[in-house]
């Protein structure tokens, strides 16, 4: 039996949608992308401060891999075992928006210069 995702709905900042879809933050654009790409919107917990990065917590590895496939290539994704709750595995897909050229942008830091004067992030991109 899969983990009951409704158990994540524990505070007032989590929005509860039909079919046990839970969201935290401004994640509606990501839900739209998943829906348009054919991913079934049920039994998931979508966490993100904005639509540029976040995590989708799902009750099975196959659903996590399907979510990653639905977000590619617009987002860089990573599927991993989120943890075990009540003896059942819970999986997650992390996502980060890609630019049109395929690079992954920083969702929070747009420019970063170290004390030695070396710029390591410029316009949201890592400088190499």
Which one is predicted more confidently, 122 or 1? Answer: 122
Structural contact between residues 68 and 81, judged by C-beta atoms closer than 8 angstroms = no
pLDDT score at 128: 74
Q: What is the value of pTM for the model shown?
A: 0.76
pLDDT of residue 11: 79
Pick the CATH number of 5-97 from 2.60.40, 3.30.1360, 1.10.10, 3.10.180: 3.30.1360
Each residue's pLDDT tens digit, 47-89? 887 778 889 999 999 999 999 999 999 899 999 999 887 788 9
Q: Which SS3 state, helix, strand or coil, does residue 85 take?
A: strand
Per-residue pLDDT, averaged over 109-127, amounts to: 81
Most confident by average pLDDT, 28-32, 36-40, 117-121? 36-40
How far is the C-alpha of 92 from the C-alpha of 22, rounded, in Å?
14
Q: Is the per-residue pLDDT at 21 higher than 80?
A: yes
For a pLDDT cut of 70, what percent of the chain falls above it? 90
Question: Hey, which bits of 1-128 come out as E strands?
Answer: 14-17, 21-24, 44-50, 53-58, 75-85, 88-97, 112-113, 119-122, 125-126
Token readout for 31 is: 């839900």
- Phi and psi for 100 in degrees, rounded to 5? -60, -30
Domain residue limits, the chain:
5-97, 101-128
Closest-CA residue to 18 (of 35, 37, 48, 43):
43
Residue 108 pLDDT greater than 70, yes or no: no
Between 50 and 45, the more confident residue is: 45
Rounded alpha-carbon distances, angstroms, from residue 32 to 24, 35, 68, 74, 86: 15, 5, 14, 13, 31
Higher pLDDT, 78 or 110: 78
């Amino acid at each position: 039996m899969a983990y009951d995702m409704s158990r994540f709905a524990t505070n007032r900042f989590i929005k509860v949608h039909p079919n046990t879809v839970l969201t935290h933050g401004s994640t509606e654009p990501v839900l739209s992308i998943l829906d348009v790409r054919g991913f079934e919107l049920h039994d998931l917990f979508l966490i993100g401060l904005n639509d540029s990065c976040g995590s989708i917590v799902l009750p099975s590895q196959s659903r996590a891999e399907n979510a990653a496939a639905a977000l590619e290539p617009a987002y860089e994704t990573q599927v991993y075992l989120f943890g075990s709750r009540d003896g059942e595995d819970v999986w997650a897909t992390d996502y980060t928006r890609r630019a049109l050229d395929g690079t992954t942008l920083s969702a929070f830091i747009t420019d970063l210069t170290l004390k030695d004067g070396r710029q390591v992030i410029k316009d949201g991109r890592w400088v190499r």
